[in-house]
Structure 1
């Protein structure tokens, strides 16, 4: 089997379903490394979309369960939804809907980003079912902001630096004063960067939507209700409605 060219192996494996790939990861260390590689994951996703199927993840917060649904190009399911194993582990199988609340922040290139009520963030690879818990960063707010704060998240892929990034927007206020903070996590460097949000204005309770290399949020500003964060430049741009 070692005599088979790697590009041929990759070509064949990229045509298989995820369930088959999970089994074939046990064939050898080289196959496991190949299937887990970002290059193969991208190739598998691109081929899946070309043949007319994709995967949509459905999040049901009240039941804390996740499902994958395969659709054709018309949006019709090609088979019944399949329940996915829980990325946070067995401790979230409990019935406590407050402590064990889980949110799907976003997805990109087959990698999903989740955050729980304890503000723990997990990246989950759908193809390999492997997940990575991001190092915890405590939310630091100004001394005056002891009344309330709102946290918005975003997740996306920076194609220029070949890096996955998680964005955390923090709006803190006590009814009189407000402060806006931005925290950026880089998977490549496994580190957080914290700086002030110069755009300002309170964000609504929503996760960032990735479009053209930038994450977009809705905020409370009639003139520029949408703000975009460029993942490469790591800077904001306001979007006015025409």
Structure 2
């Protein structure tokens, strides 16, 4: 410390000055800090703000975050969009209120990747009697709960029946495409597909879906999907049975479609998950109350390997609301329980939360914090596109 006149001034640490001068060292330190702190650190100096907003730093932060994924629980309560970040065996780290969505009802969480979430909701509109009714189409939002950013996608083509969507990320971590299946005419079973690109900011039609015979029964089973290593996967219904999965539809970021066969004896209580970077199938059987876990090591082949088979500690399979996976564990949500199954030792753990998750359709997804923008355009790319 030294003095100028009567006012003491603290001399800046030479060691810290050297750290700030070497931005790669500073970036490595800051990239391991929680997002909430990083957002506050942007006001420390112009240098820190520029560094934290740079594409190089955002990619570095994501790399560290991906090594320690948490869970994100969404209890689905109308008019109250609260997300709960959880780690370990039921430890709630943080309760997150998603700003900008407080008055949006029936908001459903579909997927999570690189810190970005996709929500949909069916908006209300007045009918001829001035009563509010649901639209058959829905709004699509990409959200970043860490930065509290929400981005509403533009409307797609009109659809006369309920639609299905899926979100793929790449080739850069912040870029994404939304695949939207819809029915353009009420008296037709034709299925069309159009794609929203975060790079162009608009929808582009690709015409009829040619992956299988055209018909309403071949539309993906809703919008619940899983994204694994550059590909989106949906269940396709079994012919003549709109509830039970009959096969899997996949599409990659280059828009190549493929149909994958399922293992035998798959029931309606089946879920697709990402298990250690592989597409996996979790199937619960009614009669035996047994869960089978299958892994597809090569997405170009329909050769499934049964990873394990075990009894489930719940009695009513109809109560299964959601299934997700993180590393070597599988998270089950039933109407009465939150359970984690460890594939390494075959053990079940029931979670006991202090928060009361009374809900209709709860969702849990693996989650990693990031600074990625919801519109899918980063830094100089935004300036170039504008």
Closer, same or farther: CA 159–169 of 1 in aligned 2, 3 Å: same
**Structure 2 counterpart SS, 1:56:** strand
Q: How much does 1:163 deviate?
A: 2.2
1:57 alignment counterpart: 72
In structure 2, relative to structure 1, the CA distance for the partners of 1:112 and 1:34 (3 Å cut) is farther
1:137 match: 155
Contact 1:228/1:238, CA 8 A, preserved across alignment? yes
Q: Does 1:66 align with 2:82?
A: yes
1:107 and 1:155 in contact (8 A); partners too: no
Q: Which of 111, 114, 120 is residue 106 of structure 1 equivalent to?
A: 111
1:54·1:70 contact (CA, 8 Å) conserved in 2? no
State how far apart, in whole Å, the 2-side matches of 1:164 and 1:81 are: 28
2:205 — aligned with what? 194
- After superposition, residues 1-242 of structure 1 pair within 5 angstroms as 4-50=21-67, 53-63=68-78, 64-72=80-88, 76-77=89-90, 79-92=91-104, 100-118=105-123, 119-134=138-153, 136-141=154-159, 145=160, 149-159=161-171, 163-171=175-183, 174=186, 177-196=188-207, 197-199=209-211, 200=214, 201-221=218-238, 225-231=247-253, 233-241=254-262
TM-score (norm 2): 0.50
Which has the larger displacement, 104-113 or 216-225?
A: 216-225
The change in CA–CA distance for 1:3 and 1:30 in structure 2 (over 3 A counts) is: closer
Counterpart CA distance in 2 for 1:205 and 1:102 is: 15
Q: Which has the higher contact order (CA 8 A, sep 6+)?
A: 2
Displacement of 1:38 in angstroms is 4.6
Distance change (3 Å), C-alpha of 1:125 and 1:7: farther
Aligned position for 2:373:
none
- How far is 1:111 from its partner? 1.4
Structure 2: gaps of 5 or more residues: 1-16, 124-137, 240-244, 263-301, 303-386
Q: Deviations over 1:51-101 (max 9, x none)?
A: xx32322112224423242424xxx24x42422132434433xxxxxxx11
Aligned partners of 1:42 and 1:109 also within 8 Å: no
Alignment coverage as a number of residue pairs: 220
* 2:73 and 2:86 in contact (8 A); partners too: no
Q: Deviations over 1:87-136 (max 9, x none)?
A: 434433xxxxxxx11111212111112222232222222443323222x2
Structure 1 position 32, deviation (Å): 3.5
- Mapped contact 2:236–2:247 kept (Cα < 8 A): yes
Normalized against structure 1, the TM-score is what? Answer: 0.77
Q: Which residue of 2 aligns with 1:96?
A: none
Distance 1:37 1:124 in 2: 20
60-69 or 193-202, which deviates more: 60-69
CA contact (8 A) 1:66 1:84 kept: yes
Is 2:178–2:195's contact at 8 Å kept on the other side of the alignment?
yes
Greater gyration radius: 2
Q: What is the Cα-based RMSD across aligned positions, in Å?
A: 2.8
CA drift at 1:160: 6.4
SS in 2 for 1:219: strand
